[in-house]
Structure 1
Amino acid sequence: MRGVIVPLVTPFNEDYSIDVPALEEHIDFLQKAGVHGIFINATTGEFTSLSVEERKFLAEKGRELVNTTFYLVGTASTNTFEVIELTKHAQDIGADYVVIAPPYYCPLNETALFRHYSMVAERTDIPIILYNIPSCANPLSVQLIKRLALEYSNIAGVKETIDSVNHVRDVILEVKGEREDFIVFTGLDQHFLDTLILGGDGGIMACANFAPEVHLALYKALQEKRFEDVFIYSQKLARLSKVYDLASSFGSAIKLAMSIRGFSIKPVLRPPYIVDGDEVKEEIRKLILEVLY
């Protein structure tokens, strides 16, 4: 698995129920656009606002719809046994990978984090992508990632949503350097190019929900060694990633951007998240017009 993976938004109706037709439409759009993978129940998908039953429903629905790309399912929780339950479910329905962020809310040391992931890895067979997102959950150090990767063959890679080129470099050199098949993705649009140049495998990036053509163009240009185009698209992504600074949450930024670009997904977030108002929407509109048109 390499390239552009999309952490999918979860579409909601005005009454906060899941908007299944909009989900179907969006997955169809992304597959036709040519993305390399689709990731459901992601941070961008507001997984912390979904019940276990809803997460299983979305995982099953996504498995029905995703047929031309890799299919990833998020199974993170603060409860290790719930992670095991959701991971087994993803395995049973035929997902290609699960993506597991560390437990959040309660600070944990590396011994506890290793045990958490070990219990999941030992009880399931599906390939696991670790998800390092220190702004939202307990951080994963390079040494912890390396220990897990070398001890468990089904721990297949890591998504690095961390604003540190040095950390990503060290994961690539120290972990991928010892285990060649270990996959390293960035979770940040603005770090897509440097992750690839350092020897990483791609990105799992939220802006690809509304502008996958930019991510795909960068990836293709790099493969074809069209370096002038690579720089152009990388600069576009760097500017586009400013969308996160304009809004109060990932979800608000992405859903407002999608509404501006004409997607049918409604700008509705489940509480406690809120959709930012017209002033923020106008700032996002200006950014999109400057970068994409």
Structure 2
Amino acid sequence: MNFDGVLFFPVTPSTSRDTVDLDALKEHVAARPPCGRGGVSPACGTGEFHALSIEEVRAVVGATVEVVDGAVPVVAGAGGPLGHALAATRAAEEAGADALLVLPPYLVNGPMDGLIAYVEAVAAASSLPVVVYHRANARFSAAAMKHLAANPKVIGFKDGVGDVGLAQEIVSAVGESGREDFLFFNGLLTAELTQGAYRGLGIPLYSSAAFAMAPDVANAYYSAYTTGDEERRSELLREFYGPLVRLRDQTPGFGVSLIKAGLALDGFAYGSVRPPLTDPTEDQLVELKRILEAGRALVSP
């Protein structure tokens, strides 16, 4: 599976009645192709997977697949309680997704054998290949990932923990397994801030939540990253991504909330985030607007 371009994680628009707005979602996804997306991941973290029902997952993935129309891979989320994860897996397959991102199980902390079994259960529930998301209570050892890499349906590893030593061990262990087709992603929040370091670990791909609200800025960063323009990349980190991360860190969950709020500042009525996430305050919106303006000033012709 090839990902050539920025990896786009769309928001899930909702109406004032807190129901998914599929027309707005299609508009959101359709607006991004000119900006160089390399893959689309609906119903994942930025898309508030935690708050979606199975029917909403099916509808969101189906609408995304319809708009993408095979142009790039569609990787849907599946996780939480095992029953929900399996149902989301089947729904994503029925809706036409190309692969799955296996999100952490709900609440409990199981032993490594249990985490392996969780991933294997999701992988066995459909014909879709899966990417393992190493995050929160789903923290995998190098030995566990080497074991999972022996399963051809497990095609990738996404790091959302930030332990670079462990990430390096996992990259090396999977390499020892003989897999040459295995994909490695940086899945930390606002991953652009850390991607320079992750590239050195052998993790060349990254998620871009910012692409959903500021595709011009995110694409400029990706261009600088892939061409080796470190001066340009540093400028974008200093003027846009650094301030965005500082604002993000003020409130838990703002890795998602700020993206939806940024779209609202641009006039897109995609609704509020669902609980337990919260929307930014008026002062935070003012700061977000300033950050977006600063970023766009850097990429304007």
> Shared fold (TM-score greater than 0.5)?
yes
How many residues are matched? 288
What residue in structure 2 maps to residue 128 of structure 1?
130
Of residues 8-17 and 170-179 in structure 1, the stretch that sits farther from structure 2 once superposed is 170-179
Match of 1:224? 227
Give the share of equivalent positions with the same residue, in percent: 24
Q: 1: CA distance between counterparts of 2:140 and 2:111?
A: 10
Q: CA RMSD in A?
A: 2.2
Unaligned 5+ runs, structure 2: none
Contact 2:102–2:132 (CA<8 Å) still a contact in 1?
Answer: yes
RCO (CA 8 Å, sep 6+): is it higher in 1 or 2? 1
Q: How does 1:262-273 map to 2 (within 5 A)?
A: 262-273=266-277
Q: Who is 2:183 aligned against?
A: 183
Note if 1:255 corresponds to 2:254. no
Q: How far off its partner does 1:52 sit?
A: 1.0
Question: 1:42-96 deviations in whole A, cap 9, x for unaligned?
Answer: 11111121111111111111111113222111111212x3322322332333311
Tell me the equivalent position of 1:283: 287
1:117 and 1:94 map into 2 onto residues whose CA distance is 20
In 2, Cα distance between the equivalents of 1:82 and 1:25? 28
Offset of 1:118 from its aligned partner? Answer: 1.7
2-structure distance, mates of 1:69, 1:105: 33
Unpaired runs of at least 5, structure 1: none
Larger deviation: 95-104 or 264-273? 264-273
CA distance in 2, matches of 1:241, 1:291: 13
Amino acid at match of 1:155: V
User: Quick one: distance in 2 between partners of 1:257 and 1:206?
Assistant: 11
Q: Distance in 1 between matches of 2:288 and 2:225?
A: 28
- Are the equivalent residues in 1 in contact too, given 2:75–2:99 (CA < 8 A)? yes
* Cα offset, 1:267, TM superposition: 4.5
Q: Is the 8 Å Cα contact of residues 101 and 130 (structure 2) preserved in structure 1?
A: yes
Which residue of structure 1 lines up, in the alignment, with residue 215 of structure 2? 212
User: Does 165-174 or 23-32 show the bigger shift?
Assistant: 165-174
Q: Corresponding residue for 2:25? A: 23
Q: One-letter code of the match for 2:285?
A: K
Question: What are the equivalent positions in structure 2 for 1:1-293 lying under 5 Å apart?
Answer: 1-2=2-3, 3-67=5-69, 68-79=71-82, 81-134=83-136, 137-150=137-150, 152-176=151-175, 178=177, 179-188=179-188, 189=191, 190-235=193-238, 236-249=240-253, 250-260=255-265, 262-293=266-297
**Closer, same or farther: CA 291–169 of 1 in aligned 2, 3 Å:** farther
Q: Distance in 2 between matches of 1:167 and 1:244?
A: 25
